[in-house]
Structure 1
Amino acid sequence: MKTIVLGVIGADCHAVGNKILDYALTEAGYNVVNIGVLSPQEDFINAAVETSADAILVSSLYGHGEIDCRGLREKCDEAGLKGIKLYVGGNIVVGKQNWEDVHKRFIEMGFDRVYGPGTSTEIAIRDLREDIGQ
């Protein structure tokens, strides 16, 4: 069974979407390690190392995801998680910005998948199956 670390990064305390993702991913057959809300990058990395996770899913709804996620890929690499799949989604930037620009910035930061607000859980599950299997 593939293991996914799931959580809400930074000073964000939005828990509902996190719970929905946890349920949907568990139902889809994944072992979900949910670190909850208000999680620093180190908590994602430590959980991924401890559980030999296949992917890290970062959620952010309060608009500061870009700041909170900066450097995560490099820290993963340093912790021995080189090549782990990194997903990010939600309301990840402040204000109305061109989605193509936002997407490009997160890809450049080392994220494999970047999802905007309102993306369905089915899309994330489809991508996970494509990227890491089941």
Structure 2
Amino acid sequence: MSFKRSIAAGLMVFLAICGAMPSARAEPFKIVGFGDSLTAGYGLGPDQGFTDRLQAALRAKGHDVSVANAGVSGDTTSGGLARLDWSVPDGTQLVILELGANDMLRGVSPDITRKNLDEMLSKLKQRKIAVLLAGMRAAPNLGP
């Protein structure tokens, strides 16, 4: 199953469990895609980025959702940690956290990346915001 389909399938299960059906909510279920160029949609046309496509797919399945794009091309986990509080507005119910690829490409220690991700997860947990952590495989030529 492709990465995008895996994320969409996981979100649909999550939304079904949470009861975020169109008739059950007065306002849309608020999701924020928080990441790097993969989230931002670098190089893609209007309405072709991950958050736009995810929102369209979930709405086509009958879910009343709003998916905001808080992706910044080139961002690292350090940058994400620094902007997390103001990039994820109050009222957000789910964050798709997708950071770490640029850390790998820049040779940032995995310990630093892990620490930054842990801090972001803690901050979101304190705010009672659910998180879907999107992972990736590191390039094998960079070592363990």
* TM-score, with structure 2 as normaliser: 0.45
Larger Rg: 1 or 2? 2
* TM-score, with structure 1 as normaliser: 0.47
The structure whose residues are more often helix, as a share, is: 2
The structure whose residues are more often strand, as a share, is: 1
